[in-house]
Amino acid sequence: MINVRLEPHTSGRSQAVAAKRLAAGSLIVSCDALTTVLLPQEKGQRCDACHTKSPGLQKCSGCAAYFYCSTKCQNIQWQAHHKRICKRFNKYTSSLGFQALAPHEKLDALLLSHLVAQLDGADSAVNDPLNSILSLLPGPSNLPTPQIAYSSPRITVSEVKDWYAKFGNNNFVIHSHLTTFGHGIFPLASRLFNHSCLPNAAAKYILSPSSLPKMEVVALRDISPEEEICLTYLDPALLQTRQQIFQLTYGFECRCTSCLFFEKVGPIPGPPTDPGQRDGLSVQLLQFMKDTPHDGMSLGSATFPSNLLPIFHESYITDVAEIFRNASHDGPYAVALSSGKTLLALYRLIYPPNYPQIGMHLLELAKTSWNRIVSENMDASAERVMKAECRMYLNEAKGILQILGPEGNEDGPLVEIKVLESVLEEP
């Protein structure tokens, strides 16, 4: 690892610090998946081994429950764990024990089954995968270990329990363009990165046929030598609930700039229910951001107007996001753009600069502006103004999403940006 180094941390055992200056957009570290599992709705859509999307997947002829894009992928997974699970898989998934599990427990049980079958087959003389799992911190909760599809006399119940204890604290969701499609164990990333609600790095997933998915950790902004590199463990927009989740799931208290700000301001008042007052709140927020542009990083260093605090209520963010989502595809586009601008201001205050969520939202705003142009009968000057707005959103989206770079499925925001750029250039 030439870019990061582990050092002691005041409360989190260790921390990854930059070994040198890392420019925004640079690859910090690439991490192999130890094992992964697809969400149920992705089964048959993506290859179970490499997770690329492919129309003509071949079913495993043994269990008919795993799907592959090539013989190579099937062989990779067969050798890794499937040859030990295949025959037992359907009996296991139809068992009452498995059926009684909640959806997230089922995923954990499948991931644990993969892990145990994989570690049983690993070469004990050079057992890197086992050592990497053993090096991780267990989570604070002691949940009962689910029954798994595979057991072996070489692996004891207490070993399985020990590995499962690391799950809550360490597993990652795997996503493509911010949409989750699976869960996975990436031991190096777990060992290295602590959490911040204002992270300076982000994880993306590289999918390519015939290889297991890789996690790449990318710098979101310039990072100075010795600065701690953090990822975010959950969506920082969970403003009122995140501390509780950190405590229960990970056993720590977040002391980032954003969390210290919310500790200082105390309980967030609920937003007004009156539609006129809610519109007024949004107008005040946009005016505030115009007069004194802020981002998540600067929240702690300024006095924030107390009349605006209700914008940080989770219910307000959820409502604004829903209004935008509903109106941005089929209209009314004026409503979508108005709620979309409010949501952009909220994202800028909650997330750090260049956070991918902001880039994706800017792209949605550009697409909504374009939909408005083509669906409304505007005069030439209104169209010019709208096109300029569309270009502005698009340029900013491009700047942010290029920092993250290509990731996930082949299609995606960078491709969409190119298409919209070319239609905007047409006379």
Ligand X SMILES: C[S@@+](CC[C@H](N)C(=O)[O-])C[C@H]1O[C@@H](n2cnc3c(N)ncnc32)[C@H](O)[C@@H]1O
Binding of residue 11 to ligand X (CB under 6 A): yes
Residue 3 three-state SS? coil
Q: Which is nearer to ligand X, 14 or 402 (CB)?
A: 14
Binding of residue 132 to ligand X (CB under 6 A): no
Binding of residue 169 to ligand X (CB under 6 A): yes
Contact at 8 Å (CB) between 320 and 278?
no
To the nearest whole angstrom, how small is the minimum distance from the Cβ of residue 188 to ligand X? 11
Q: Which is nearer to ligand X, 176 or 190 (CB)?
A: 190
Binding of residue 74 to ligand X (CB under 6 A): no
Q: How far apart are CA 25 and CA 213, in angstroms?
A: 20
* Chosen residue from 113, 118, 194, 258 binding ligand X by CB under 6 A: 194
Q: Which is nearer to ligand X, 11 or 61 (CB)?
A: 11
Q: Which is nearer to ligand X, 129 or 359 (CB)?
A: 129
CA distances from 47 to 61, 112, 209 (A): 15, 19, 9
Binding of residue 12 to ligand X (CB under 6 A): yes
Of the listed pieces 7-15, 42-50, 154-162, 315-323, which binds ligand X according to CB under 6 A?
7-15
Binding of residue 190 to ligand X (CB under 6 A): yes
Closest residue by Cα to residue 18 from 31, 4, 1, 28:
4
Q: Which is nearer to ligand X, 189 or 321 (CB)?
A: 189
Structure tokens at 91: 């009996």
Binding of residue 113 to ligand X (CB under 6 A): no
Of the listed pieces 6-14, 92-100, 201-209, 293-301, which binds ligand X according to CB under 6 A?
6-14
Half-sphere exposure of 188 (CA within 13 A, CB side): 16
Closest residue by Cα to residue 228 from 194, 259, 187, 184:
194
Of the listed pieces 4-12, 104-112, 345-353, 383-391, which binds ligand X according to CB under 6 A?
4-12
Q: Which is nearer to ligand X, 33 or 390 (CB)?
A: 33
To the nearest whole angstrom, how small is the minimum distance from the Cβ of residue 251 to ligand X? 5
Q: Which is nearer to ligand X, 31 or 373 (CB)?
A: 31
Burial 351-369 (b: 16+ CB within 10 A, else e): bbbbbbbbbbbbbbbbbbb
* Chosen residue from 36, 74, 145, 170 binding ligand X by CB under 6 A: 170
Q: Which is nearer to ligand X, 14 or 45 (CB)?
A: 14
In one letter, which amino acid is 309? L
Q: How far apart are CA 423 and CA 405, in angstroms?
A: 22
To the nearest whole angstrom, how small is the minimum distance from the Cβ of residue 235 to ligand X? 16
Q: Which is nearer to ligand X, 133 or 336 (CB)?
A: 133
Q: Which is nearer to ligand X, 194 or 339 (CB)?
A: 194
Binding of residue 200 to ligand X (CB under 6 A): no
To the nearest whole angstrom, how small is the minimum distance from the Cβ of residue 128 to ligand X? 17
Burial 282-293 (b: 16+ CB within 10 A, else e): beebeebbeeee
Q: How far apart are CA 24 and CA 200, in angstroms?
A: 9
Binding of residue 188 to ligand X (CB under 6 A): no
Task: Name the closest residue to ligand X (Cβ).
Answer: 12
CA distances from 65 to 59, 134, 181 (A): 7, 30, 17
Q: Report the Cα 19 to chain-centroid distance in Å.
A: 25
| DSSP annotation string for 89-149 | HHHHHTSHHHHTS-HHHHHHHHHHHHHHHHHHHS-STT-HHHHHHHTSPPPS--PPPPP-S
* Chosen residue from 44, 62, 101, 252 binding ligand X by CB under 6 A: 252
Q: How far apart are CA 110 and CA 37, in angstroms?
A: 7
Q: What angle do CA 339, 256, 259 make, to 5 degrees?
A: 55
Number of residues that bind ligand X (CB under 6 A): 17
Binding of residue 254 to ligand X (CB under 6 A): yes
Interface residue list for ligand X (CB under 6 A): 9, 11-14, 137, 169-170, 190-191, 193-195, 250-252, 254
